[in-house]
């Protein structure tokens, strides 16, 4: 008799919900003082939070995700967001949240702690670390001398078909915006057109570019510096085939973009949430990022990771992060030349 079988169907949802219930975290985090949305990964952020909790006794509830998705989530949630603090991997996402008016203004002792070029101009968010744009190249087929010192050198005929870029990616678009601000609209469009006509190797994001260079698939590419250090940390620096080239200071190809944090409107009065942002730009917080992610500290007086050019040498005189607001024009330009 087969007809007893439907009973097993009943068991499915019950067992499922029971299992999901058991696996859900116990109420241990119910007394968390605030909720952090982290656009940076758990392996990196959780030890920092544990140190913060140890020092202050403040419990934090953390939701991890990719920065773009966390930003989209915050925009969708609006004022109903359970989040108190947003820790972002790039300035663009912070700008998007600030533009919607979802951030409250941070006190000046926090925003004033970091180099002003690397924070919001209106105090809506604070920069936490810096990440430089670099050229990554295949150390087996090229030496550093083969590589041009400015971004213009990479769109010549000699480089046809050899350069990997990720035109739909936020960090590439920030770089093109910097190019527009520093060199002017016409020069920027000429550069982008030259790149588009030069048979570029198109990728979706930075990490696959690094992987492709490291595997000898392409000879060079435009990425952010810390990806290299994190992979080197995994496989050993001596095993890295890919190498980094820092372009001349002041060149758009060497701009520094930032990671940062902001306080959401609903948490304007939340001292504990504020204490966490303060911790991020404290000496302990900054040193943690230097040691673990090889990113630039943004608080003056804390030395950059070993082996990196000084942050000051990468500061671009006529450019600061608020200039990155004109993203729409950059995308228009990239669409016109056929890169996106």
Site for other proteins in 94-133 (CB under 8 A): 96
Residues with Cβ < 8 Å from 71, sequence gap 6 or more?
Answer: 39, 86, 88, 93, 96, 97
Query: In this chain, which stretch among 48-56, 110-118, 232-240, 265-273 interacts with other proteins, using CB under 8 A?
Result: 232-240
Phi, psi of 140 (to 5 degrees): -90, -30
Distance from C-alpha of 62 to C-alpha of 60, rounded to nearest angstrom? 6
Query: In this chain, which stretch among 61-69, 127-135, 242-250, 315-323 interacts with other proteins, using CB under 8 A?
Result: 61-69
30 belongs to the binding site for other proteins (CB under 8 A): no
Residues 267-326 that bind other proteins (CB under 8 A): none
336 belongs to the binding site for other proteins (CB under 8 A): yes
Distance from C-alpha of 182 to C-alpha of 35, rounded to nearest angstrom? 39
230 belongs to the binding site for other proteins (CB under 8 A): yes
161 belongs to the binding site for other proteins (CB under 8 A): no
From the CB of 123, what's the least distance to other proteins, in Å?
20
231 belongs to the binding site for other proteins (CB under 8 A): yes
From the CB of 154, what's the least distance to other proteins, in Å?
19
Phi, psi of 149 (to 5 degrees): -90, -15
Residue 129 contacts residue 295 (beta carbons within 8 Å)? yes
Residues 166-195 that bind other proteins (CB under 8 A): 168-170, 173
Query: In this chain, which stretch among 12-20, 187-195, 249-257, 296-304 interacts with other proteins, using CB under 8 A?
Result: 12-20
Task: Look up residue 66 and give its DSSP letter.
Answer: -
Size of the site for other proteins (CB under 8 A): 79
198 belongs to the binding site for other proteins (CB under 8 A): no
Which residue, 5 or 306, has its beta carbon nearer to other proteins? 5
Any alpha helices (H) in 151-296, and if so which ranges? 170-183, 185-196, 206-214, 225-235, 271-280, 283-293
Distance from C-alpha of 181 to C-alpha of 184, rounded to nearest angstrom? 6
Residues 203-222 that bind other proteins (CB under 8 A): 203-205, 207-208, 211-212, 215-217
């Amino acid at each position: 008799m087969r007809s007893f079988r439907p009973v097993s169907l009943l068991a499915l949802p019950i067992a499922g919900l029971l299992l999901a219930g058991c696996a859900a975290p116990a109420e241990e985090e119910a007394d968390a003082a605030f909720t952090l949305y982290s656009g940076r990964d758990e392996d990196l952020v959780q030890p920092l939070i544990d140190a913060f909790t140890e020092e202050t006794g403040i419990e934090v509830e953390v939701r991890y995700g990719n920065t773009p998705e966390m930003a989209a989530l915050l925009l969708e949630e609006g004022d109903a967001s359970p989040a108190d603090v947003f820790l972002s991997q790039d300035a663009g996402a912070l700008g998007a949240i600030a533009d919607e008016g979802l951030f409250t203004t941070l006190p000046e002792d926090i925003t004033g702690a970091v180099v002003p070029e690397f924070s919001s101009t209106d105090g809506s968010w604070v920069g936490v670390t810096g990440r430089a744009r670099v050229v990554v190249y295949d150390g087996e087929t090229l030496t550093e001398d083969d590589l041009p010192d400015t971004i213009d050198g990479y769109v010549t005929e000699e480089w046809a078909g050899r350069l990997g870029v990720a035109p739909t990616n936020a960090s590439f678009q920030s770089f093109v915006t910097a190019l527009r601000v520093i060199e002017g609209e016409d020069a920027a469009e000429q550069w982008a057109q030259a790149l588009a006509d030069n048979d570029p190797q198109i990728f979706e994001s930075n990490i696959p570019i690094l992987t492709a260079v490291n595997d000898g698939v392409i000879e060079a590419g435009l990425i952010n510096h810390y990806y290299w250090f994190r992979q080197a940390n995994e496989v050993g620096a001596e095993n890295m085939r890919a190498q980094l080239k820092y372009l001349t200071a002041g060149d758009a190809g060497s701009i520094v973009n930032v990671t940062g944090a902001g306080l959401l409107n609903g948490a304007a009065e939340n001292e504990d949430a504020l204490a966490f942002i303060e911790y991020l730009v404290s000496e302990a917080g900054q040193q943690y990022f230097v040691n673990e992610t090889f990113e630039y500290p943004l608080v003056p007086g804390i030395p950059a990771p070993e082996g990196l050019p000084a942050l000051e040498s990468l500061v671009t005189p006529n450019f600061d992060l608020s200039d990155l607001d004109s993203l729409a024009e950059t995308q228009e330009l990239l669409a016109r030349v056929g890169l996106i």
